[in-house]
């Protein structure tokens, strides 16, 4: 890289392009986005606040309408008017009086049961003659002079119109000091025939449900709602000390009563605050207030995070875009394509990037490296193949003299003891075996060819040990054509005879099975001999470790080394006890991938 001029370097081009083409537009765009989004988000917050206030007003109006409907129902019921107007008269007998009492009490209780918002209903005439639902107490009523109460005077002044009272404790129900929070709706009751006032109707709405309804509506973290009447007097508030008192903040009171705007801002003891109001069904107003910073600070923080994120992601996007765009990306793509070809095994791939920057230098170094790797791979492959062939020939040369030594020793004893026929038969079998081996070229045979040699080999062993050895084979057609190194199964058969069957001092049976299991071939050699002694079982619990420790003969070493040299990972040889007695050797052989050095399976 020392030979690359500074203006030809990729980093220099990237920095110049970034500063000139991207930096200034990004700053201008970020500033414009902040100004526009700030106004948009604030408007959305205000609209959301108005919507919350409208929802609160609708919900509360529904409750108030439920109360006014109950009041209208009682006020217009002619039978109730008749009961109230005629109660206490001299002409009324006891039976009629009791029926009227039961009717009125039942009527009032049914009204309360049918409305979840109505807490209790009263029809009041005087201290002695009044009716109520639920836990109405005439004793508590007797403590008051109805005509002296403020709401009765206001009800008379309205002459049948509704009088809405602020949130308060119920005066006429419950035992002892037990009271419930209610919102009363009062009016006079008239006899429609004479239009004279005959009593009062008092419907008490459930105050707790009204407060719960309002408390669910939130503005910011500390803001909330309260209800005022037309004059600005607080009628419903979670703080009971403020009820029936005018709004203390003069600026807020002016906004509530003198300004038709739904939204407004005011100063609350030096804290800029935001307010929203909505009219209720009875003419009252529900008002929500909250410090302005509670609904704008988080939005401003969000804007700042958005701007910072926008700037950060813009820079990242620009850097990535510059790295892969235009003229600079072409050398990278070309290098990548050639590298992928090399990854797939094509060592003839070469790049043709002729630029004078870092990519041109990388291209030249890459071509040199691949050429060196190709030469080294060819050399290693050639040497590895030569080494494997030499090792297989060396192993075969060790096994063949060992086998001939044992066979010729047997023939010598046959001749010595004048068993000419047996000696002749043994020499004939040896000739057939040598003839079979000499007829094969190379170091590999198929499983089928190996089994043919083993069959001839067993004939020699029968002469050597003067016993009958039966051979049973079960071979899949695909497994029969599987290519293995020479004499890979034969040492296993010899071990089965020598260590398993011969110690029984009888003949025996050897079963060889070869079958495919996926891509692998599984070869099993099983005998019905004496099985594994405890000492031998401990010694060969791991064939590979036993071979490395030099505790096995030439034949078993040849099997293990052939597996390691010519077959893929997962190939192994294991020895164990056979079911019903005897020993079983199991070989699993995975062929190496095509083109991989040392592969045995053709």
Residue 419's pLDDT is what? 75
Report the pLDDT averaged over residues 524-529: 92
Report the pLDDT averaged over residues 162-184: 85
The last residue of a domain, from among 211, 239, 268: 211
Tens of pLDDT, residues 454-473? 888 888 888 777 788 899 99
The total of other beta-carbon atoms located within 10 Å of residue 508's CB is 20
296 in a domain, yes or no?
no
Least-confidence region, from 357-366, 531-540, 565-574:
531-540
Q: Which two tokens stand for residue 459?
A: 């004939």
492 in a domain, yes or no?
yes
Report the pLDDT averaged over residues 100-123: 89
Q: Which two tokens stand for residue 201?
A: 């109707």
Rounded distance between C-alpha atoms, residue 138 and residue 527, angstroms: 110
The last residue of a domain, from among 154, 184, 211: 211
Report the pLDDT averaged over residues 73-102: 79
User: Counting beta carbons within 10 angstroms of the beta carbon of residue 73, is it exposed (0 to 12), middle (13 to 18) or buried (19 or more)?
Assistant: middle
CATH code for the domain in which residue 89 is found: 3.30.450.20
Residue 602's pLDDT is what? 44
DSSP strand pairing (508-517 vs 520-527): antiparallel
pLDDT confidence band for 21 (50 / 70 / 90): low
Whether pLDDT at 216 is above 80: yes
Report the pLDDT averaged over residues 344-359: 70
State the alpha helices, DSSP H only, in 325-357.
326-343
Cα-trace Rg, the chain: 54
405 in a domain, yes or no?
yes
341 in a domain, yes or no?
no
Report the pLDDT averaged over residues 102-112: 89
Rounded distance between C-alpha atoms, residue 240 and residue 238, angstroms: 6
Least-confidence region, from 11-20, 71-80, 381-390, 572-581:
11-20
510 in a domain, yes or no?
yes
Report the pLDDT averaged over residues 264-273: 90
137 in a domain, yes or no?
yes
Tens of pLDDT, residues 322-341? 555 556 666 766 777 777 77
Residue 85's pLDDT is what? 83
The last residue of a domain, from among 187, 211, 235: 211
Better pLDDT: 463 or 165:
165
Better pLDDT: 26 or 445:
445
* C-beta of residue 192 within 8 angstroms of C-beta of residue 245: no
Residue 182's pLDDT is what? 92
Strands of the sheet containing 271-279, edge to edge, are 234-236, 224-228, 285-291, 271-279, 263-268
CATH code for the domain in which residue 399 is found: 3.30.565.10
CA angle, 148 as apex, 109 and 108 as ends, to 5°?
A: 5
* C-beta of residue 248 within 8 angstroms of C-beta of residue 238: no
* C-beta of residue 186 within 8 angstroms of C-beta of residue 44: no
Q: Which two tokens stand for residue 32?
A: 């414009």
Report the pLDDT averaged over residues 425-434: 77
Better pLDDT: 111 or 96:
111
3-state secondary structure 174-216: CCCCCCCEEEEEEEEEEECCCCEEEEEEEEEEEHHHHHHHHHC
* C-beta of residue 559 within 8 angstroms of C-beta of residue 571: no
Which range of residues forms the domain containing residue 87? 77-211
553 in a domain, yes or no?
yes
Whether pLDDT at 495 is above 80: yes
Rounded distance between C-alpha atoms, residue 460 and residue 60, angstroms: 110
Summary mean pLDDT of the chain: 80
Distance set, CA 45 to CA 36, 42, 262, 426 (Å)? 15, 5, 14, 107
Whether pLDDT at 441 is above 60: no
537 in a domain, yes or no?
yes
Rounded distance between C-alpha atoms, residue 428 and residue 363, angstroms: 69
Q: Which helix (H) or strand (E) holds 28?
A: helix 24-76
- Number of domains the chain is built from: 2
Tell which residue, 430, 452, 592, 429, has the closest CA to residue 512.
452
Angular region, 306: left φ>0, alpha ψ -120 to 50, beta rest? alpha
Phi, psi angle pair for 224, to nearest 5°: -165, -175
């Amino acid at each position: 890289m020392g030979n690359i001029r500074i203006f030809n370097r990729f980093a220099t081009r990237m920095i110049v392009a970034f500063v000139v083409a991207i930096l200034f537009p990004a700053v201008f765009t970020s500033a414009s986005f902040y100004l526009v989004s700030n106004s948009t988000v604030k408007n959305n917050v205000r609209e959301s606040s108005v919507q919350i206030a409208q929802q609160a007003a609708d919900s509360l109006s529904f409750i108030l309408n439920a109360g006014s409907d109950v009041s209208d129902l009682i006020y217009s019921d002619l039978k109730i008017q008749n009961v109230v107007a005629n109660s206490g008269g001299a002409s009324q007998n006891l039976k009629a009086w009791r029926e009227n009492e039961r009717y009125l009490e039942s009527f009032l209780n049914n009204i309360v049961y049918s409305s979840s918002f109505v807490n209790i209903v009263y029809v009041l005439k005087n201290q002695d003659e009044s009716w109520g639902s639920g836990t109405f107490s005439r004793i508590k009523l007797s403590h008051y002079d109805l005509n002296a109460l403020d709401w009765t005077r206001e009800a008379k002044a309205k002459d049948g119109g509704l009088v809405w009272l602020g949130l308060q404790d119920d005066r006429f129900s419950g035992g002892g000091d037990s009271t419930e929070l209610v919102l009363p709706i009062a009016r006079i009751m008239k006899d429609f025939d004479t239009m004279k006032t005959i009593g009062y109707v008092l419907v008490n709405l459930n105050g707790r449900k009204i407060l719960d309804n309002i408390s669910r509506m939130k503005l910011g973290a500390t803001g909330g709602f309260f209800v005022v009447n037309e004059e600005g007097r607080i009628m419903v508030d979670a703080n009971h000390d403020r009820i029936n008192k005018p709004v203390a903040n003069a600026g807020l009171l002016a906004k509530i009563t003198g300004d038709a705007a739904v939204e407004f801002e005011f100063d609350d003891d030096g804290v800029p605050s935001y307010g929203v109001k909505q009219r209720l069904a009875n003419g009252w107003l529900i008002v929500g207030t909250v410090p302005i910073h509670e609904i704008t600070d988080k939005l401003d923080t969000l804007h700042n995070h958005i701007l910072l994120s926008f700037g950060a992601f813009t820079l990242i996007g620009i850097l990535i875009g510059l790295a892969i765009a235009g003229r600079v990306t072409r050398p990278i793509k070309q290098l990548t394509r050639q590298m992928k070809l090399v990854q797939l095994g094509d060592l003839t791939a070469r790049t043709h990037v002729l630029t004078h920057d870092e990519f041109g230098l990388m291209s030249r170094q890459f071509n040199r490296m691949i050429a060196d790797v190709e030469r080294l791979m060819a050399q290693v492959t050639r040497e590895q193949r030569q080494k494997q062939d030499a090792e297989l020939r060396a192993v075969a040369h060790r096994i063949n003299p060992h086998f001939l030594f044992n066979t010729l020793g047997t023939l010598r004893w046959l001749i010595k003891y004048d068993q000419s026929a047996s000696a002749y038969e043994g020499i004939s079998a040896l000739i057939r075996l040598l003839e079979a081996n000499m007829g094969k070229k190379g170091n590999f045979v198929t499983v089928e060819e190996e089994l043919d040699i083993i069959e001839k080999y067993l004939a020699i062993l029968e002469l050597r040990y003067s016993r009958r050895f039966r051979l049973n084979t079960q071979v899949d057609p695909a497994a029969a054509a599987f290519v293995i190194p020479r004499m890979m199964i034969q040492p296993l058969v010899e071990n089965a005879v020598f260590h398993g069957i011969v110690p029984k001092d009888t003949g025996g049976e050897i079963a060889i099975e070869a079958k495919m299991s996926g891509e692998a071939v599984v070869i099993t050699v099983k005998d019905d001999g004496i099985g594994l002694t405890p000492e031998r079982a401990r010694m060969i619990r791991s064939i590979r470790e036993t071979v490395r420790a030099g505790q096995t003969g030439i034949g078993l070493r040849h099997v293990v080394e052939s597996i390691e040299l010519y077959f893929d990972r997962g190939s192994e040889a294991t020895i164990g006890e056979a079911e019903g007695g005897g020993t079983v050797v199991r070989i699993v052989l995975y062929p190496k991938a095509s083109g991989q050095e040392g592969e045995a399976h053709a």
